[in-house]
Amino acid sequence: MRAPLRLVLAAMLMLAAGPVLAQSTLPVTDAARGTVSAEEMELQATLRGDIIRGRISIPDSRAANLIQPEGREWREFHNVTLAWIGGVALIGMLVVLVLFYLVRGPVRMEGAPSGRTIQRFNWFERANHWMTASTFIILALSGLNITFGRHVLLPLAGPEVFSAATQWGKIAHNFLSFPFSLGIVLMFLLWVRDNIPNRLDLVWLRAGGGIIGHEHPPADRFNAGQKAIFWITVLGGGLVAASGYLLIFPFFFTGMQGMQLALLVHGTLAVLMISAMLGHIYIGTIGMEGAFDAMGTGQVDYNWARAHHALWVEKEVVRARSTIDGEPRPVGAD
């Protein structure tokens, strides 16, 4: 009777401890069979920094990616780092320009206007400049709204106005990128010959270009400052446009990592270009007397041209002498 009694007691103990034993021995049994739970797989992938994938039934395999570690880094850059870069660049440039205007004031024309004008840019050059400039302004505003809109425009305008402005801004941003890119290409073809750096640019920079000081160093059709703006526009604008097209046509040219890199390049170069263009706009409007006429009417005062682009004026006078009989006068003079 002792043996059956021991068997009964053992059976009762096993039944009482059955759930506990099952919970403790089941993972071991699964591990022994080589089976790992989904939770364990996700934990291991997270620790390794891998992409966590699920199962899908649609053809696009990228939709199975549930967690991508690089996405966290991209989100941190877009929401924090890019905002700091853009804020410092834009606000810093505005502060510098305001202080510069208060201290230096606008660059005045030396002497009285001559009453004669010389053609600075023809109609096609001006049309291309204004097409590129106007599209750039809309692209800049709609792009800045993506980075700063929730913090600046949304509290001021409210959700309805903000959502409508963002929606239309996105549409304008996508479609106006094409005339902007065309303008960049035409600008390069029209002006690259006159924007090759040379030794005269070093002389211009050492003299402050007549902006920091009051001396106007000799310059050809474009001085060193204008050449810098040209290359910033052509090279920076080209890279911004190229990276933007990777975003307009997602996954057509590159994968997820390429898309993230394109957005980093696009956003960073865009805010830096906007900052540089603020300086360009300042010089071309209130910063320098007579400068706006170059892109406004295409005609600038002869004395203004001699002060800022003396070498270019001399070439124009020589060319005029070879084509005009009688008393020499500059090309385009009234």
Q: How far apart are CA 254 and CA 62, in angstroms?
A: 13
Burial class (CB in 10 A: 0-12, 13-18, 19+), 116: middle
Which pLDDT value is given to residue 199? 92
pTM of the model: 0.77
pLDDT tens digits, residue range 147-195?
888 888 899 989 999 999 999 999 999 999 999 999 999 999 999 999 9
Phi, psi of 119 (to 5 degrees): -75, 125
Q: Quick check: 254 pLDDT over 70?
A: yes
Task: Band the pLDDT of 108: cuts 50, 70, 90.
Answer: confident
- % of the chain with per-residue pLDDT over 70: 75
For 13, the token pair is 């103990």
**Tokens 């395999």 sit at which residue?**
61
Query: Looking up tokens 């898309």, which residue turns up?
Result: 259
The per-residue pLDDT for 36 is 58
At residue 239, the pLDDT reads 96
pLDDT per residue over 65-79, tens digit each? 666 666 777 888 888
pLDDT, position 64: 65
- Rounded to whole angstroms, the Cα distance separating 165 from 84 reads 23
Does the structure show a pLDDT above 70 at 10?
no
Q: What is the rounded average pLDDT of the residues 2-29?
A: 44
The secondary structure element, H or E, covering residue 128 is helix 123-157
In DSSP terms, 117 is beta-bridged to: 301
Report how far residue 238's alpha carbon sits from residue 240's, in angstroms, rounded to the nearest whole number. Answer: 5
Q: What is the rounded distance in angstroms from the CA atom of residue 60 to the CA atom of residue 16?
A: 51
Q: How far apart are CA 210 and CA 200, in angstroms?
A: 14
When mean pLDDT is compared across 46-55, 82-91, 121-130, the lowest value belongs to: 46-55
What's the confidence (pLDDT) of residue 231? Answer: 97
Sequence-distant (6+) residues with CB within 8 A of 214 are none
CA distance 171 to 169: 5
Q: Please name every residue paired with 165 in a beta bridge, in sequence order, or none if there are none.
A: none
What is the average per-residue pLDDT within 232-250? 94
How high is the pLDDT of residue 325?
Answer: 53
Handedness of CA 141, 146, 152, 156 (dihedral sign): positive
Q: Is the pLDDT of residue 206 over 60?
A: yes
Q: Reply yes or no on whether the pLDDT at 49 is more than 90.
A: no
Question: What region, left, alpha or beta, does residue 149 occupy, with left being phi > 0 and alpha being psi -120 to 50 degrees?
Answer: alpha
- d(CA 298, CA 311) in angstroms, rounded, equals 18
Quickly tell me which residue has 């030794």 as its tokens: 199
- Complete domains list, the chain, with CATH: 110-323 (1.20.950.20)
The answer to whether residue 18 scores a pLDDT higher than 50 is no
Higher pLDDT, 214 or 247: 247
